Amino acid sequence: MKKRRRLASLLMGMICLFQMYTLPVQAKEYWPEGPEIAGESAVVMEASTGTVLYEKNSHEHYYPASITKIMTSMLAVENSDLEEDVTFSKDAVFKTEGSGISRDVGEVMTMRECLYGLMLESANECAYAIAEHTGGNYDNFIKMMNDKAKELGCKDTNFNNPHGLPDENHWTCAYDIALISREALKNDVFRMIVNTRRYTIPPTNKHQEETYLSNHHKMRNNYKGDEQYLYDYCIGGKTGYTSVAGSTLATFAEKDGMTLICVVMREDSPNHYVDTRTLFDYCFENFRLWNVAENEKNYGRDTAESKIFENEESFVGLNQEGYVVLPMAAAFEDAVPKIKESKKKNDIIGKIVYTYADRKVGGTNIEITGSKVSEFKFQKLMEEPEVPEEKVFRIDVKYIVLVILGVILLVGLGFGIYHLADNFYLIRYKIESRRQRKRSFKEIKVKRRRHRR
C-alpha cells in the first residue's frame, strides 16, 4: 500500500506540472445577476457541490423558528432506529407550545411516527421528546446539535432548543441552514419524510383514534387548499414562523439532475413562497451541472493524457460522483482546476477543485482504483533513469516530456536530457527554449539518435 501511495504521489506531481503548462487562457468569467427579493436574508446552494448560486445577507444572524427541526430530525435519523419507542415526558408536553399534535404524558410512539409529526405538522412536543430520547437527556441533545453544526462548518449558529420556539440564545443564518440541509439530504430516510404529503399515525396507548398529518410546506402540498404555491420540482422542506422570527422557509427542489437548497429568513407571508419560487426559477434557468469524470479531458482515466504507463488500466482515477456547477453560458473547460494532494492515509490521494468567477464551483476526488500495477516498469523507472525512454516506457513519445519524465533541459538547439531526481518520486519540469518546444517530438527523437552515433 505504501508503494502504491508513493507511485500515486509521483503521478500527482506529474499531473500538477502538466496542468501548469497546458491549461488554456481563460475567457472572461460571467456570473448571472440574481433577482431582487422581499426577504431580508436568503441563499440558494447547489447540493452536490455546496456552491452558492445566490445569496443576500446569508451570514446575518436571525431567529430560525421551526426550520431548526431540520437539525433535530437529522440527528434523530442518524442516532436512532425508526422503530424505537419514544415516550413523551411531562416536560415534552408542558414545556412546549404552539404547533403540535396534542400528545399526552406517557404516550408512546415510534421514532418514525415522531419524525413525521415533527416535519409535517411541526409538532413541538415531538421535537422535545425526540431530543430527550436521542440525546439521553435534553441538554445533551442541544450539545449534539451545536457539535454537529460546528462539524458541518456552521460559523453563525447557536442552537438552544430542538424546536425553534423564541429564545434569545437560539439563532443561526441562511447559509448555515443550507449547510445543515445539504447534509440531511444525504440521508434517504430524511428525504423520504420531508417529501411526504400526508401520513397517518395509528392509535397509541393514549389515543384510540388515528392522527392525520399533512405537510405544511405549500410548495410540496396544497395545505389548506393553497394550490397556487405548489412547485412541480419541490422534493420537500420545512416551514417556520414565530412573531420574532417572521416567516422562515427551507425548500429543496430537483430539476435536470440538479438539487437546489433555498433558505429564506425574516420574511412576511406569503412572500417566503414567492421569493423561493423566484430564486429556484432563476437558478434552474441560469445554471447547469457537469460531471467531472465525464468531462475532464486532462486527468480522466480513459484519455490519452492519463495513460502514463503501459498498463491497460491506470491505478489512479477520478471519482464518478464529483460535479461542477456553472452558468449556462460557460463550458466545462472554463472552470479552472487546481490539484490538492491529500495527506490522509487512504485511497484518496488528492482532489481536483474547480473555481469560476472567483467562486469554488465543485470538484472530485482522485482515488487509487485498485488496478494492478506492473512492478517491473516502475522498478526500471526508478533504478535506470538514464535508459532511453523507448526501451522502458513504450508509450506515445509526445507526452513523455509533459507527463512522465517531467524534467527537460533543452540546451541551445540540440537535444533533451532526461533525469529523475528527489528520491525518484518528484519531477521537476523546465523548458528553456520556446522554439524547441514547438518542434514535434518525433524530430527530437531523430536528433537523439544522430547524437548517439
Across 206-215, 249-258, 308-317, least confident range: 308-317
Cell of 92: 415534552
CA 218 to CA 193: how far, in whole Å?
Answer: 15
At residue 338, does pLDDT exceed 80? yes
Grade residue 306 by pLDDT with cuts at 50, 70 and 90: very low
pLDDT at 318: 85
Helix (H, G, I), strand (E, B) or coil at 320: coil
pLDDT, tens digit (0-9, with 9 covering 90-100), for 356-388: 999 999 999 888 766 544 443 333 333 444 444
Under 8 Å between Cβ of 381 and 392: yes
Under 8 Å between Cβ of 125 and 101: yes
Across 120-124, 267-271, 380-384, least confident range: 380-384
Under 8 Å between Cβ of 25 and 343: no
Per cent of the chain over pLDDT 70 is: 70
pTM, full prediction: 0.74
- DSSP labels, 260-305: EEEEEEEE-TTHHHHHHHHHHHHHHHHEEEEEHHHH-SSS-TTSGG
CA 330 to chain centre: 20
Under 8 Å between Cβ of 181 and 191: no
In terms of Cβ atoms closer than 10 Å to its own Cβ (0-12, 13-18, 19+), residue 187 is middle
pLDDT, tens digit (0-9, with 9 covering 90-100), for 225-242: 889 999 999 999 999 999
Phi, psi of 397 (to 5 degrees): -60, -35
Enumerate the active-site residues: 66, 69, 122
Q: Which domains does the chain have, with CATH numbers?
A: 2-29+296-368 (no CATH), 41-289 (3.40.710.10), 375-452 (no CATH)
